[in-house]
Amino acid sequence: MESLMFQQTDRMSGRAWGMLLVLCGAIFLEGVDVSMMGVALPSIQAELAMSTGELQWVVSAYVLGYGGFMLMGGRAADLLGRRRMFLFWLAVFLVFSGLGGFAGEGWILILSRLVKGIAAAFLTPAGLSIITTSFPEGKLRNKALLVYAGTAAAGFSLGLVVGGLLTSISWRWVFFAPVLMTAAILVAAVALVPRDERSDRPAQGFDFAGAISVTGAVLLLVFAVERAAHVGWAQTLLLLAASLALLAAFVAIERRSRSPLVRLGIFRSGALVRANLGAILFSGSFFAFQFIAVLYLQQLRGWSPLQTGLALLAIGIDAVLAPTLTPWLVNRFGNVRVIFGGLLLALLAYVLFQPIGLDWTYAAMFPTMILLGTAFALVYGPLTIAATDGIAEEEQGLAGGLLNTSFQFGAGLGLAAVTAVSLTATGGDVSPQGVLDGFRVALIVPVVAAALGALVIAPGLRRSKTPIEQHA
């Protein structure tokens, strides 16, 4: 790829900003798409007559396709060219978003979401690795990554309101609107994303066996958690055992492969491992909370999709804080301390939402929303930095793929867990009080996940130094 190193200066050229804005546009699209879908779920459920368990798969199919193929997507970016992968899969995303808008049955909608997730699995690590290989490690790259993360956050928060507006017309516009956005980004990307450099390294093959085994392991694990509320323990344990067997097969394949999907030695980096575990737990907590909060507001409280989107809009404070406050905090206190503080804020936010009732005012909900938005700003971008710092250039796609796999796997696992707990706690009682009781029990899931996330990150506090300490 053409160099954008800027002769070791701390300023970006106009060309660098243009490229960064295109890549930010793609991650903005991904954030908008996910959040719009969350607000539209009750309307989709009503029109297509889907059960709560089936409805969960509208989201889970996307995140499983995303998480399951992300490692292959990261490797494809490293081997086949980051620009090439970015453009091709952006086009696939466009086509299947349109297909979802025409779905007349639930399975067609779920299928379109699965393929969109697979497209995002190749698209996202390609975009992230373009940034990490184009900007020198340090202040300039951190700035680019925090702008990138802030844009993703802005897309997510804006999507809550836009999703409400579009769903008030028809939930199908939640699929059609991204088609227009993707087309515009694709045209800009052709002009602004630099061509890949030719590599002198020998061509390497794809580890299809590794991709199939790890994707199967993820699918079976989330399916086992989701089905736990509907089947006996024997079947659940069988699914978990099958998932573990596929995971063991994946490890064995990677050890013997000449061109592994994941070089297992990369996990010797404690910072990378902690960042990815933190991403799984934080993402799982957030998506579990959002799923229950949307159902609570629309099904129990009778709020419209637009009112729901506006209620969740306070979470969008992260779009302001991520590019402004977060860089200062990272420079002052260090990455790990900022991530740890963000996870503690998330934990507090979920605890404050526990006493929800049938007549709760928005004033009672607001502290959770604003704290969660602040937590997102403190966790998402710094995790991206932590997961890619110190990684060789030829494995930046892999590092980005691992991180995004963790985010998406966490989302799928969190959704499956919170759905299973909610259905089990409700026990078939569909009265408003029965459903509310189920929601209250289910909200323990994000509390536990955020607490575990903080515990995972905590050991890094002893190993990290702030930038000020490093120069003392």
Tell me the C-alpha distance between 392 and 398, whole Å: 10
173 in the same domain as 122: yes
pLDDT tens column, 207-243: 778 878 887 887 787 677 666 666 777 888 898 899 9
232 in the same domain as 282: no
291 in the same domain as 256: no
Full domain range(s) for residue 325? 269-461
pLDDT of residue 344: 97
pLDDT of residue 246: 93
Chosen domain end from 194, 229, 245? 194
Choice between 51 and 101, residue whose per-residue pLDDT is larger: 101
Can you read off the two tokens belonging to residue 123?
Answer: 């698209």
% residues pLDDT > 70 (the chain)? 90
Rounded average pLDDT over 331-355: 94
Residue 4: closest CA among 131, 146, 150? 131
pLDDT of residue 91: 94
- The secondary structure of the chain, three-state, reads CCCCCHHHCCCCCHHHHHHHHHHHHHHHHHHHHHHHHHHHHHHHHHHHCCCHHHHHHHHHHHHHHHHHHHHHHHHHHHHHCHHHHHHHHHHHHHHHHHHHHCCCCHHHHHHHHHHHHHHHHHHHHHHHHHHHHHCCCCHHHHHHHHHHHHHHHHHHHHHHHHHHHHHHHCCCHHHHHHHHHHHHHHHHHHHHCCCCCCCCCCCCCCCHHHHHHHHHHHHHHHHHHHHCCCCCHHHHHHHHHHHHHHHHHHHHHHHHCCCCCCCHHHHHCHHHHHHHHHHHHHHHHHHHHHHHHHHHHHHHCCCCHHHHHHHHHHHHHHHHHHHHHHHHHHHHHCHHHHHHHHHHHHHHHHHHCCCCCCCCCHHHHHHHHHHHHHHHHHHHHHHHHHHHCCCCHHHHHHHHHHHHHHHHHHHHHHHHHHHHHHHHHHCCCCCHHHHHHHHHHHCHHHHHHHHHHHHHHCHHHHHCCCHHHHCC
Question: How much is the pTM?
Answer: 0.77
163 in the same domain as 124: yes
CA dihedral 141, 145, 147, 151 (to 10 degrees): 160
pLDDT band at 204 (very low <50, low <70, confident <90, very high): low
Tell me the C-alpha distance between 438 and 423, whole Å: 7
Residue 369 lies in a domain: yes
The residues, ordered by sequence, that sit 6+ positions from 340 with a Cβ below 8 Å of its Cβ are 454, 457, 458, 460, 461
135 in the same domain as 24: yes
Rg (CA), the chain: 21
Choice between 78 and 364, residue whose per-residue pLDDT is larger: 364
Give me the CATH number covering residue 278.
1.20.1250.20
Residue 6 lies in a domain: no
185 in the same domain as 220: no
Least confident window among 267-271, 432-436, 454-458: 267-271
Q: Interhelix angle for 14-48 vs 173-192, to 10°? A: 160
pLDDT of residue 137: 73
pLDDT band at 297 (very low <50, low <70, confident <90, very high): very high
pLDDT of residue 229: 60
pLDDT band at 440 (very low <50, low <70, confident <90, very high): very high
For residue 316, the tally of other CB atoms under 10 A from its CB is: 23
254 in the same domain as 276: no
CA atoms within 13 A on the CB side of 471: 6
For the chain, the average pLDDT equals 83
151 in the same domain as 187: yes
pLDDT of residue 469: 45
187 in the same domain as 254: no
% residues pLDDT > 90 (the chain)? 26
pLDDT of residue 464: 59
CA atoms within 13 A on the CB side of 457: 29
Rounded average pLDDT over 465-470: 48
Chosen domain end from 170, 194, 218? 194
pLDDT of residue 139: 75
Residue 185 lies in a domain: yes
379 in the same domain as 311: yes
User: To which residue do tokens 């025409």 refer?
Assistant: 102
pLDDT tens column, 154-200: 787 677 778 888 888 888 998 999 899 999 999 999 988 888 776 54
Residue 334 lies in a domain: yes
Long-range contacts (CB closer than 8 Å, 24 or more residues apart) made by 231-237: none
Highest mean pLDDT among 19-23, 36-40, 363-367: 363-367
Residue 467 lies in a domain: no
pLDDT tens column, 305-329: 788 878 888 887 887 888 788 888 9
Rounded average pLDDT over 10-23: 79
Count up the domains in the chain and report the number: 3
pLDDT band at 471 (very low <50, low <70, confident <90, very high): very low
- Let me know the angle formed at the C-alpha of 385 by 194 and 467, rounded to the nearest 5 degrees: 120
188 in the same domain as 136: yes
Rounded average pLDDT over 269-282: 91
- Let me know the angle formed at the C-alpha of 396 by 393 and 402, rounded to the nearest 5 degrees: 155
222 in the same domain as 314: no
The residues, ordered by sequence, that sit 6+ positions from 64 with a Cβ below 8 Å of its Cβ are 114, 117, 218, 219, 222, 408, 412
Rounded average pLDDT over 103-124: 89
Report whether pLDDT(5) > 60: no
Can you read off the two tokens belonging to residue 469?
Answer: 């300490």
CA atoms within 13 A on the CB side of 172: 12
Residue 421 lies in a domain: yes
Choice between 33 and 340, residue whose per-residue pLDDT is larger: 340
CB distance 298 to 160 below 8 Å: no
pLDDT band at 10 (very low <50, low <70, confident <90, very high): low
Highest mean pLDDT among 27-31, 209-213, 245-249, 427-431: 245-249
pLDDT of residue 93: 93
Residue 8 lies in a domain: no
Residue 7 lies in a domain: no
Chosen domain end from 194, 217, 248? 194
